[in-house]
Amino acid sequence: MADSTATSTPRAVPSHEDRPVYVIGGGPGGLAAAHALRAQGVRAVVLEKSDRVGASWRRHYDRLHLHTTRRLSALPGLPMPRSFGRWVSRDNVVRYLEKYVEHHQLEIVTGVEVSRVEPAPDGTGWLLHATGGRELTGSAVVVATGHNHTPHLPDWPGRDAYTGELLHAGDYRNATPHAGRDVLVVGVGNTGAEIAVDLVEGGASRVRLAVRTAPHIVRRSTAGWAAQFTGIVVRRLPVRLVDLLAGPMARLSVPDLSAQGLPRPDTGLYSRVREGSIPVQDVGLIDAVRKGRVEIVAAVDGFEDGKVVLADGNRIGPDVVIAATGYARALEDLVGHLDVLDGRGRPTVHGARTPRTAPGLYFTGFTNPISGMFRELAIDAEKIAKAVAKALARTTARTPA
């Protein structure tokens, strides 16, 4: 990772001031890419649809902390302060992103949402259609709109007619409005698990957690060894080998919760990761389930007559349902016409690679790596910047004086 004590000195690469590189999204991935480009001597302009950077982080629930260590979560060129502690809080992540913009003097334009990206009419660079009829032409584009872009709420049968309180986890802030209430949390990813624990600690009268597929659960840290360290070590190993190693480790570190309705998974940990399912880092769920404070129930199949219908046929009537059911990347309108997305709406390439059908279009932040999102965003940013600078230098060399 780059030295982070001073602002970087641009290298002697053409700046292409008339056609900057546009970075879509002012979250950690976009800001890291913008700084890395500037360090390569390339002008980068960040387009952020909200009025401030780090918009998605500002919307997360209050108790959220990074599940990765402070030291391995810094973006290029600026360490996170030691005062943030080992596990950085949501509020401190936001402070860090604001400081990152100031420290690196990044060029940010807020209140501008890009709706479509297409090749520029003259055949070089890209044309961006944005808020207010703007048309912006860039030499390259980095799409960094984020893995958690648009809340996804399953189209459960009977959902539209359900009169009970139903909200997505993206609208959950803390347990205060739910003190003394019966709450069902749907989904046992990291968000659902942490919200369930937050509700228990915040005084909800009853907390149930609907689970369709039993997750892999890992300790966030064991004897000072963070789970992230293991993720980094094993990331390049064969999937089958990691699966074989993870099984015995889980049995040693995580108790069997089968009696409480949460059996050990029947598929390998890393096999799940490759399918997009990150292990749940324990921030209190194991203890809450063992003590019966969080009750595990079957997955939600739908809603009927004011009740929640579970996959095992049971019907329950919680006061509120919180759907921790993930997010959609929502890239179809933006770049779907460019043949750069797979069948699940994910970019076919990421990092320094650019699609064969769309040279000069880059993506960052659309994977969910076991080694830590911020760490991989930092690595990708520098790779993207080097690739962009190299491509612009080649273009300049071919252009007649």
213 and 254 part of one domain: yes
**Would 229 be classed as within a structural domain?**
yes
54 and 165 part of one domain: no
**Would 90 be classed as within a structural domain?**
yes
Examine the fold and report which residue of 293, 323, 353 is the final residue of a domain before the chain moves on: 323
For residue 202, what are its two tokens? Answer: 């915040």
Distances (CA, A) of 293 to 1, 33, 134, 182: 43, 43, 53, 12
**Would 39 be classed as within a structural domain?**
yes
**Would 219 be classed as within a structural domain?**
yes
55 and 171 part of one domain: no
Say if CB 357 and CB 332 are below 8 A apart: no
Alpha-carbon distance of 25 to 114, in angstroms, equals: 9
Say if CB 367 and CB 350 are below 8 A apart: yes
251 and 177 part of one domain: yes
Which residues have C-beta within 8 Å of that of residue 236, sequence separation ≥ 6?
Answer: none
Q: Can you name the residues that pair with 129 across neighbouring β-strands?
A: 116, 135
Per-residue pLDDT reduced to its tens digit, 103-135? 999 999 999 999 999 999 988 899 999 998 999
**Would 7 be classed as within a structural domain?**
no
**Would 9 be classed as within a structural domain?**
no
99 and 201 part of one domain: no
In this prediction, residues 225-237 reach a mean pLDDT of: 90
Q: Which domain holds residue 186?
A: 152-323
Count of the separate structural domains present in the chain = 2
For position 400, what pLDDT does the model report? Answer: 57
Examine the fold and report which residue of 323, 343, 361 is the final residue of a domain before the chain moves on: 323
**Would 14 be classed as within a structural domain?**
no
In this prediction, residues 159-170 reach a mean pLDDT of: 95
Per-residue pLDDT reduced to its tens digit, 319-331? 999 999 999 889 9
For position 1, what pLDDT does the model report? Answer: 39
Examine the fold and report which residue of 302, 323, 344 is the final residue of a domain before the chain moves on: 323
33 and 171 part of one domain: no
158 and 47 part of one domain: no
Per-residue pLDDT reduced to its tens digit, 284-313? 999 999 999 999 999 999 999 999 999 999
**Would 317 be classed as within a structural domain?**
yes
Give 148-152's long-range contacts (Cβ < 8 A, gap of 24+).
148/56, 148/327, 149/56, 149/327, 149/328, 149/329, 149/330, 150/327, 150/328, 150/329, 150/330, 151/327, 151/328, 152/325, 152/326, 152/327, 152/328
132 and 185 part of one domain: no
| DSSP label of 87 | S
Model confidence at 2: pLDDT above 70: no
Per-residue pLDDT reduced to its tens digit, 374-389? 999 999 999 999 999 9
170 and 285 part of one domain: yes
For residue 347, what are its two tokens? Answer: 């970019």
With tokens 């890239």, the residue in question is: 331
Distances (CA, A) of 124 to 33, 43, 225, 348: 21, 17, 49, 22
Read off the CATH number of the domain in which 79 is found.
Answer: 3.50.50.60
173 and 310 part of one domain: yes
121 and 166 part of one domain: no
185 and 59 part of one domain: no
- pTM, to two decimals: 0.90
Q: From edge to edge, which strands make up the β-sheet containing 300-304?
A: 300-304, 307-310, 315-316
E-state strands within 96-188: 107-110, 114-119, 126-130, 134-138, 140-143, 150-151, 165-168, 182-186
Q: Which amino acid is at 268?
A: G
